Structure formats: C-alpha cells, structure tokens
C-alpha cells in the first residue's frame, strides 16, 4: 500500500483491522514515518493526546478514551539488548495490550515470533510504501 499523510487515517484503520497480533514491529529507516504512523494508530484506537515523545524515553504509555492501554517503544537508543530486560520488556509482551515497537532490530532476541511486522519505505518526499508481513 502506498500512502501520503492525507491517507494515513485509512492506513491506520486497515492495520488495526488486519493485524495478526497486538504486537506491531515497525521497520524503516530514520524519517520513514514510523512515529507518524504509530501516532495515527493511537488516535484511531481512541488516544486523545500523546503525553511525551519516546524520543526522550524508551517507552511511552498511552491510555485510550475507553481505558485501553497502548505502549509505544522506541529502541533506537538502546545499546545492548539486555537493557530491554531492565525495562521489564518481556512482562509488557504478555499483557495483551497494544504494543508498537520502533527499531525492533535492536531487540531481535526478545521479539515474539508471531508479532505483526510492518515495513515502511520512502517512495518520495510525501509518499510511503507499507508492507505487512
């Protein structure tokens, strides 16, 4: 699927209805649009506003208007996989909440095999290609 920002809401809806898992892994280079898509997904799931950006912390917790919990991880700054364990990463995975992970490449040992992988590729300044796999 190719999309621009005006179509991102539709893309978010499609992802939510077709995801094979509550755990979503976002692959794509810097600036591909991972955070932008996660924010759109959070909005689609009823999150009113995002408190802080995970640029400054590894995990952010969002609460939707019907009290569903969403976790947004950004592992870009992780230096060693083991740091994820210090955050209690494995416990998060077992709760059944929505979990969105940027830079999953940084924690390959701890990724659930059946998670939904999403790759975003830059096509042009405003167009992105999305692959679910």
Ligand X SMILES: Nc1ncnc2c1ncn2[C@@H]1O[C@H](COP(=O)(O)OP(=O)(O)OP(=O)(O)O)[C@@H](O)[C@H]1O
Kindly give, in sequence order, each residue whose CB lies less than 8 Å from that of residue 85, ignoring residues fewer than 6 positions away.
110
In the list 72, 102, 104, 107, the residue contacting ligand X (rule: CB under 6 A) is: 102
Task: Pick between residue 72 and residue 92 the one whose CB is nearest to Mg ion.
Answer: 72
d(CA 71, CA 62): 6
Q: Is 35 in the site for ligand X (CB under 6 A)?
A: yes
Measuring CA to CA, how many Å separate 123 from each of 11, 35, 113, 130, 131? 16, 17, 28, 10, 13
In the list 12, 23, 25, 34, the residue contacting Mg ion (rule: CB under 5 A) is: 34
Q: Is 32 in the site for ligand X (CB under 6 A)?
A: yes
Q: Is 119 in the site for ligand X (CB under 6 A)?
A: no
Residues at the interface with ligand X (CB under 6 A)? 3-5, 8, 28, 30-36, 102, 126-128
């Amino acid at each position: 699927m190719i999309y621009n920002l005006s179509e991102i809401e539709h893309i978010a809806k499609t992802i939510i209805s077709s995801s094979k898992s509550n755990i979503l892994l976002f692959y794509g280079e810097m600036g591909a649009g991972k955070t932008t898509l996660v924010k759109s997904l959070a909005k689609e799931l009823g999150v009113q506003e995002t408190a802080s950006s995970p640029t400054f912390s590894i995990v952010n917790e969002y609460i939707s208007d019907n009290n569903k919990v969403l976790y947004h991880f950004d592992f870009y700054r992780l230096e060693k996989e083991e740091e994820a364990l210090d955050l209690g990463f494995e416990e998060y995975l077992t709760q059944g909440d929505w979990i969105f992970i940027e830079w999953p490449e940084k924690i390959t040992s701890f990724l659930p095999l059946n998670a939904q992988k999403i790759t975003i590729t830059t096509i042009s300044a405003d167009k992105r290609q999305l692959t679910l796999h």
